[in-house]
A and B are shown apart, each in its own frame.
Chain A
Amino acid sequence: MRFIQDAFDKARPLFEKGGKLELLYPLFEAKETFLFVSRERTASGCHVRDSIDSKRYMASVIVALMPCLLFGIYNAGYQYLTGIAPGQPTDIHRCLWEGALRVMPIVICSYAVGGIWELVFSVVRKHEINEGFLVTGLLFPLVLPPTIPLWQVAVGISFGVVIGKEVFGGTGMNIFNPALTARAFLFFAYPAQISGDQVWRVVKDGVDGVSGATPLLVAAAQDGVQVVDRVSGAFGGWSNLFLGLIPGSIGETSTLCCLLGAVYLVATGIGSWRTMLGVLIGAFITCFLLNQACKDNTAINALPFCYHLVSGGFAFGLVFMATDPVSAAQSNTGKWIYGFLIGFLAIVIRTLNPAFPEGMMLAILFMNAFAPLIDYFVISRHMAWRMKRVEA
C-alpha cells in the first residue's frame, strides 16, 4: 500500500493552503483518511488514544444494518415475484436478484445525492467530511418502500442532509435525525407514493400495479373480526410478522433482523440500551393500558404489544433511529425518559390517531425536538443537588 500513500503525499501540496485545488481539500482529506488511518500524533493531553474514531463508530451502525438490508433486498424481490404472478417460483437467488434490482438503485441514489451535498457543504464550510452521513445514507433507503421513484429519493435525502443536518452545522449539531427528517418530508410532500391506503408491491408502467396492505392498515380496518385474528390471519401469523416476509418499507419489515442489529449495537457499546429499553417499556405500558381500557376487541386499541412490536417501523425505529447519539437525549436518565416517551407516543399515534397508521417516525421526531429539554431538566436537577450540597 506504500505506493498509494506515496501518491497521496505527492498530491498533498495541490490541496493544501496555496495549492491549486485548495478548495477541494475536504475531498482530499476524506479520501485519504478513508484509505489510511491518519499519521497525526497526539499533541496535547493524552499521549495515546483509543483506536476508535467516528468512522469506526458510524461504520458499526452500518454493520448492524446489514441484516436488515440483506433481508430487505430479499423481501423486496419476494414481494415483487409473488405480486406480479402468484405461484411463481420464489427461490432465494431470484428473490435476491429481483430485490437487488429494485433496492440497490435507491441506496446508490441516496448515497450519491447525499454525498454531493455533504461535499458541497464541507467545501463551503471548510470542514472535513462527516462520517455521520454514511449512516444517514443507508438508514434513509431502508425506511422507504421499494417502489419509491428515484427522484423522490434524491429530493428526500437532499432535504434530510441540508435542512435536517447541515443548516445546523453538520453532524453533531443537528436537532433532528436527518434520515427521519428526510422520510417525514417525503411522507408529507408525496403521500401518494409513500403511504396512501396501501403500500405498492409492484409498479408496472409507472402507475399501475399491485398493492398490498401493511399490518397496521389491516389492524386499523374495521370488519368485525377480532383484531389479533385479522392481523395474524392476513400475514401468516405472528411468527411471519416477526420474520418479516410482508409488504412494507425495505428494511423495516423484519423484527428478527432489527433484533440482530440491536444485539450488535449493544454488545459493541455503540447503541444505547437505555434508550432501547425505554422505548420498549413505554410502548408496553401504553399498550397494556389501552388493551385494558378497550372493550371492543375488534378495534386496533385491543392489539397487544407483541403485534405492535413486529408491525410497521417500530423495531427499526427503536434500534436504529431512537438511538442516534446526536439527536437523542444525552444524559443517562434523559435516555430513559426519552425512550419511554417515544414508546408511549408511537403507540398513541398508532391507535388513537386515525390520520396516521404509523406512529414511530413521528414519535421519534417529536422527541428529538424535546431531547434537549429532557436533558435540561435532568441537568437542572443535578445542578440543584450540587447547589444544595454547597449550602449544607
Chain B
Amino acid sequence: MARFTLKQGYDVPIAGDSNPEVVDGALATVASVRPADFIGIKPRLLVRDGDSVLAGTPLFHAKDDESQVFTSPISGTVSEVSGVVRGDRRVLLAVNIESDGKNEAVSFEATSAAAIPGKSSEQLRETLVKSGQLALFRERPFGHVARAKHTPRDIFVSAIASAPLAPDPAVLVEGNEEYFQAGIDACAKLTLGAVHLSVPGTGSVCSAFSGAKNCQIHEFSGPHPAGVVGVQIHHIAPVRSRQDIVWTITVQGLIQLGKLFVLGRVSPEKIVSVAGTSALDRRYFRTINGAPLQNVIRGQVADETIRYISGDVLTGTDIGAEGFVGLYDDMVTLIPESIDSEFVGWMQPGFRKHSMFRTYVSPWLPKQKHRLDTKVWGGHRALFASDAYGKVLPMKMFPLFLVKSCMIQDIDEMVGLGIYEVTEEEMALCEYVCPSKTPVQKIIREGLEFLYAEA
C-alpha cells in the first residue's frame, strides 16, 4: 500500500451538505440514455419511437464500431411522444424509455461471485460489450467513454469524495459490498495490469474498501482534487502517451458491473445524493441510471431561481429542472442563480466572500461555509499569470502553460506539458480560482478533441 499526501488543492467552502441517510427516490417511470454522456463516440440509432425494449436492449451503437452498443437501463417502450430526441442538424440528444413496470431484462451469462476470477477475460469482455455496460468505464487519455477495441493497461477507481458536497463512497457501497468486490474481480480480468483502488488516507476507511482483494490499494490525503481519479493516476502510474490507455470507473459503476456478472442482467440501481442550498430535502436517494432529476429532488426546492446541476459545482452539467441525472454522476447540486449585482463589490472588505486569495477578510476568519451562487464575480480578461493554478493542481506539471498551449493549439507543447494526463476534472479548480475568469475546462476539452482528431 502506498500513501500519498497532496499539498496543493483547495476545498471550496460551499454550504449545503447532504445528510448521509439513504431513502428511496420516486419510482422512475422514464429513463433517458443520452449520447452526450459518452464523449468520443458518434451514435447511430437502432430503435424507433414505439419500440419495446428490455433492460439491456441496444438503443444505439458507435458509428465507427457496431459492436459497441449502448443499452436501455429499464424495460418498457421508446416513448411515442418524446422517445427519440434530436437537436440541431438532427444530432441525437436522447432516447427516452417509458417504463412498463415489469423490470424485465435481457439475460446474459450469470457467474457466481466466487467464480469470476476463474472466468476467461474474453468471456467477461463479451458480456460487458454486449450488455452495453462497457460504457460504465471511461478511458484516459482524452476522457472518452471506454472503447471496445481497447484493452486497458490498468483500471483505476477512486473511493474518495473530495469534490464539493460529494456523497460519501462508504455510504454508497453499503449493502453492496459483495458486488463491489465482484466488480473488482471482473476488472482484474479485463486489464493487462492491475486494478488500483484509492482510499482516504485520513479517518476510518470502510471495510469494503480497506479489505478489498485482487487490487492494489493506495491512500490519498489532502484537499480537493485528491479524490479525482486523474490526479491519483498521475501519482500511481501516469498515462505516458497516446497509446498508454487506462480505464476509470466509479464506485457505483463497479457495483453495477459486479451485478452484471453475478446476476447476468443489466442492473441500473444507484444512489444519487442531493446537495446544495437550494435543495430542501438533502439526502441520498435510491434511483436508477438515467432517472429524471425530479425523482430525487421531488419538488423540494427553495423558492428562488435555481441552477440544477448533475454532478458537483465544479465539473457538473447544467441540466435544468426537467433534466436527467448523468450516467457517471452520483450527486445533484442545486444552487441559486446569480440575480443581483453587488455595489462596489471588489472594494469591499469581504467578511462573507469566498476566495482562495486572502485579499478579502473572510479567508482570515475561522472556516465558514458560504451559500454560493452562479456569479462569475468579474469580467473576462487576458490570461495573466498568477501562482493560483499551481496552488490547486497537485500534479507535476505546468497548468498555466498547458492551458496556453491548448489555446494556440501547439501540439508538441500540449503533449510535452502532459495533456494526456488531464481531463476537465483535474483542471476544474484552476478555472474556479482564475482571476481572469478563463474558461479552463472548455479550453482543455477543445485541446483534447483537437489532439484526438489530429491523429
Write the residues of chain A forming the contact surface with B, with a CB cutoff of 8 angstroms.
Answer: 1, 4-5, 29, 33-42, 44-57, 59-60, 128, 130-132, 169-173, 267-270, 272, 325-326, 328, 330-332, 375, 379, 382-383, 386-387, 389-390
With A47-B335, A326-B385 in contact, do A383 and B431 touch (Cβ < 8 Å)? no
Which of B388, B401, B424 interacts with A379 by CB under 8 Å? B401
A389 to B434, CA, bound (A): 30
Q: Are B379 and A331 in contact (CB under 8 A)?
A: no
A3 to B388, CA, bound (A): 37
B390, CB-defined interface residue at 8 Å: yes
A350 to chain B, nearest CB (A): 29
Q: Are A269 and B356 in contact (CB under 8 A)?
A: yes
Which of B313, B318, B345, B377 interacts with A50 by CB under 8 Å? B377
Which 7 pairs of residues, A with B, have the shortest CB-CB distance?
A53-B378, A172-B382, A383-B416, A37-B345, A45-B441, A330-B385, A36-B341
| Residues from 396 to 420 in B contacting A, C-beta threshold 8 Å | 397-398, 400-401, 413, 416-418
A5 to B345, CA, bound (A): 13
Q: Are B416 and A44 in contact (CB under 8 A)?
A: no
Q: Are A39 and B338 in contact (CB under 8 A)?
A: yes
Which of A42, A53, A390 interacts with B241 by CB under 8 Å? A390
Which of B377, B380, B385, B391 interacts with A37 by CB under 8 Å? B377
B39 to chain A, nearest CB (A): 15
Q: Which one of B25-33, B149-157, B346-354 is at the A interface? A: B346-354
Determine the chain B residues whose CB is within 8 A of the CB of A60 once the complex forms.
357, 359
**Looking across the interface, which residue of chain B has its beta carbon closest to that of A132?**
B384
Q: A48-B373, A383-B413 are in contact. List 8 more A-B contacts (CB 8 A).
A: A38-B341, A47-B335, A51-B355, A55-B379, A269-B356, A269-B387, A326-B384, A389-B240
Q: Are B374 and A47 in contact (CB under 8 A)?
A: yes
Determine the chain B residues whose CB is within 8 A of the CB of A38 once the complex forms.
341, 375-376, 378-379
Which of A57, A270, A379 interacts with B417 by CB under 8 Å? A379
Q: Are A47 and B441 in contact (CB under 8 A)?
A: no
**Looking across the interface, which residue of chain A has its beta carbon closest to that of B354?**
A51
Determine the chain A residues whose CB is within 8 A of the CB of B355 once the complex forms.
50-52
B14, CB-defined interface residue at 8 Å: yes
**Looking across the interface, which residue of chain B has its beta carbon closest to that of A33?**
B379
Interface string of B288-332 (1 = CB under 8 A from A): 000000000000000000010100011110100000000000000
A270 to B341, CA, bound (A): 25
Q: Are B341 and A39 in contact (CB under 8 A)?
A: yes
Which of B240, B338, B358, B413 interacts with A267 by CB under 8 Å? B358
Q: Are B433 and A52 in contact (CB under 8 A)?
A: yes
Determine the chain B residues whose CB is within 8 A of the CB of A54 once the complex forms.
378-379, 381, 384, 435-436
Q: Are B309 and A171 in contact (CB under 8 A)?
A: no
B286, CB-defined interface residue at 8 Å: no
Determine the chain B residues whose CB is within 8 A of the CB of A130 once the complex forms.
381-382
A81 to B228, CA, bound (A): 64
Q: Are A47 and B400 in contact (CB under 8 A)?
A: no
Q: Are B401 and A331 in contact (CB under 8 A)?
A: yes
Q: Are B400 and A37 in contact (CB under 8 A)?
A: no
A131 to chain B, nearest CB (A): 8
**What are 17 pairs between A and B in contact, CB < 8 Å?**
A1-B343, A4-B343, A37-B342, A44-B439, A45-B439, A50-B356, A50-B435, A51-B375, A53-B346, A54-B381, A130-B382, A131-B381, A171-B382, A268-B357, A330-B385, A382-B416, A387-B416
**Looking across the interface, which residue of chain A has its beta carbon closest to that of B400?**
A330
Which of A34, A44, A57 interacts with B435 by CB under 8 Å? A57
Which one of A49, A55, A375, A383 has the highest number of Cβ atoms from chain B below 10 Å of its Cβ?
Answer: A49
Determine the chain B residues whose CB is within 8 A of the CB of A379 once the complex forms.
398, 401, 413, 416-417
**Looking across the interface, which residue of chain B has its beta carbon closest to that of A383?**
B416
Q: Are B401 and A56 in contact (CB under 8 A)?
A: no
Determine the chain B residues whose CB is within 8 A of the CB of A56 once the complex forms.
346, 357, 359-360, 378, 435
B337, CB-defined interface residue at 8 Å: yes
Q: Are B387 and A272 in contact (CB under 8 A)?
A: yes
A40 to chain B, nearest CB (A): 4
Determine the chain B residues whose CB is within 8 A of the CB of A37 once the complex forms.
341-342, 345-346, 375, 377-378
Q: Are A51 and B377 in contact (CB under 8 A)?
A: yes
Determine the chain B residues whose CB is within 8 A of the CB of A131 once the complex forms.
381
Determine the chain A residues whose CB is within 8 A of the CB of B91 once the complex forms.
none
Which of B314, B397, B401 interacts with A46 by CB under 8 Å? B314
Interface string of B421-442 (1 = CB under 8 A from A): 0001000100111111101111
Interface of B is mostly: loop
Write the residues of chain B forming the contact surface with A, with a CB cutoff of 8 angstroms.
Answer: 12, 14, 238, 240-241, 307, 309, 313-316, 318, 333, 335, 337-347, 350, 353-360, 372-388, 390-391, 397-398, 400-401, 413, 416-418, 424, 428, 431-437, 439-442
A328 to chain B, nearest CB (A): 8
B225 to chain A, nearest CB (A): 12
A193 to chain B, nearest CB (A): 33
Determine the chain A residues whose CB is within 8 A of the CB of B434 once the complex forms.
49-50
Determine the chain B residues whose CB is within 8 A of the CB of A328 once the complex forms.
385
Q: Are A50 and B346 in contact (CB under 8 A)?
A: no
Q: Are B374 and A53 in contact (CB under 8 A)?
A: no
A125 to chain B, nearest CB (A): 12
Determine the chain B residues whose CB is within 8 A of the CB of A375 once the complex forms.
401
A52 to B354, CA, bound (A): 8
Q: Are B359 and A50 in contact (CB under 8 A)?
A: no
Determine the chain A residues whose CB is within 8 A of the CB of B398 once the complex forms.
331, 379, 382
B304 to chain A, nearest CB (A): 14
Determine the chain A residues whose CB is within 8 A of the CB of B374 once the complex forms.
41-42, 47-48
**Looking across the interface, which residue of chain A has its beta carbon closest to that of B372?**
A48
With A172-B382, A379-B417 in contact, do A47 and B341 touch (Cβ < 8 Å)? no
B181 to chain A, nearest CB (A): 33
Q: Are A52 and B383 in contact (CB under 8 A)?
A: no
A264 to B333, CA, bound (A): 36
Determine the chain A residues whose CB is within 8 A of the CB of B436 once the complex forms.
54, 172
Which one of B313, B390, B435, B437 has the highest number of Cβ atoms from chain A below 10 Å of its Cβ?
Answer: B435
Determine the chain A residues whose CB is within 8 A of the CB of B417 once the complex forms.
379, 382-383, 386
Determine the chain B residues whose CB is within 8 A of the CB of A390 once the complex forms.
240-241
Q: Are B358 and A269 in contact (CB under 8 A)?
A: yes
Determine the chain B residues whose CB is within 8 A of the CB of A49 once the complex forms.
375-378, 431-432, 434, 437
Q: Are B383 and A172 in contact (CB under 8 A)?
A: yes
Which one of A42, A51, A326, A382 has the highest number of Cβ atoms from chain B below 10 Å of its Cβ?
Answer: A51
Q: Are B432 and A51 in contact (CB under 8 A)?
A: no
A40 to B379, CA, bound (A): 9
Determine the chain A residues whose CB is within 8 A of the CB of B340 once the complex forms.
39
Q: Are B377 and A268 in contact (CB under 8 A)?
A: no
**Looking across the interface, which residue of chain B has its beta carbon closest to that of A128?**
B379
B237 to chain A, nearest CB (A): 11
Q: Are A48 and B313 in contact (CB under 8 A)?
A: yes
A40 to B335, CA, bound (A): 15
Determine the chain B residues whose CB is within 8 A of the CB of A42 once the complex forms.
374-376
A107 to B383, CA, bound (A): 28
A47 to B319, CA, bound (A): 12
**Looking across the interface, which residue of chain A has its beta carbon closest to that of B314?**
A46
Q: Are B347 and A47 in contact (CB under 8 A)?
A: no
Determine the chain B residues whose CB is within 8 A of the CB of A387 once the complex forms.
416
Q: Are B346 and A55 in contact (CB under 8 A)?
A: yes
Which of A45, A47, A330, A383 interacts with B440 by CB under 8 Å? A45
Which of B339, B344, B387, B390 interacts with A35 by CB under 8 Å? B344
